[in-house]
Amino acid sequence: MNSTTGELNRIHVMSGGAPKEVFALLAPKFEQQTGNKVKFTYAVITELREKLDAGARADVLVLPTPVLDGLAKVGKVRADSRATFGAVGISAVVKEGAPRPDISSNEKFRTAMLAARSVVHATPGKTPSGTHMGKVMDQLDISDAMAKKVILKPALAEAGTPSTHPIVGDELRALRRLQREQEPKSPFVFTSERGALSRPRVSPG
């Protein structure tokens, strides 16, 4: 894609969030060795597609293969310029102190999902990992059974975009401790179901 910065030696990269930490390590070295400056635009895949459809341009796109294939078909990118940058894996984590589930096979993964009280993953259709998890639930024929206990979380939250996730028990106590102790203060705003701001509890002196 052609640069739109109007500045020499400036490279604009549009990317999903997965490679962000890698770029944070590589970009300074690249800039020092080449004299080029790199500007990054990170967003969820659907937002990047919307930006590109609206006319946004970049020098480099770092996106999933199916997305790049689709952009090549409509002439947004050169099909012969694509190279594999890396692969993104999906890991499973559990609450501290909880038993480690056996997910060593499809059937055991299915059993673990059905036994879980709640499962959190990215929104299908918004990110590659969320889309993959949606397909996995369909393939294992447990989408309906999981519907009421799956909590969808955006992978990248834009400023001003609300995200809803129930917080109770240990999570709520940890949040209140974070609000009391964190410095600098968290940029996130937490509210109760009634819309009131969640504030840290202060122990009497």
Same-domain pairing of 77 and 100 = no
Is 4 among the domain residues?
no
Q: Say if residue 177's pLDDT is above 70.
A: no
In a domain, residue 134? The reply is: yes
Q: Does 117 reside within a domain? A: yes
Q: Within a domain: residue 28?
A: yes
Both 74 and 17 in one domain: the answer is yes
> 54 and 193 in contact (C-beta within 8 Å)?
no
Say how far apart CA 77 and CA 69 lie, in whole Å.
Answer: 9
CA distance linking residue 109 with residue 118, whole number of Å: 14
The answer to whether residues 180 and 200 touch, using CB atoms and an 8 Å cutoff, is yes
Return the pLDDT at 154: 67
In a 3-state reduction of DSSP, which class is residue 29?
A: helix
Q: Per-residue pLDDT for 176 more than 60? A: yes
Domain residues for the domain of 192 are 166-205
Residues 171 and 156 in one domain: no
Mean pLDDT of the chain: 78
- Residue 1 is assigned to a structural domain of this protein: no
Mean pLDDT lowest for which of 18-22, 33-37, 187-191? Answer: 187-191
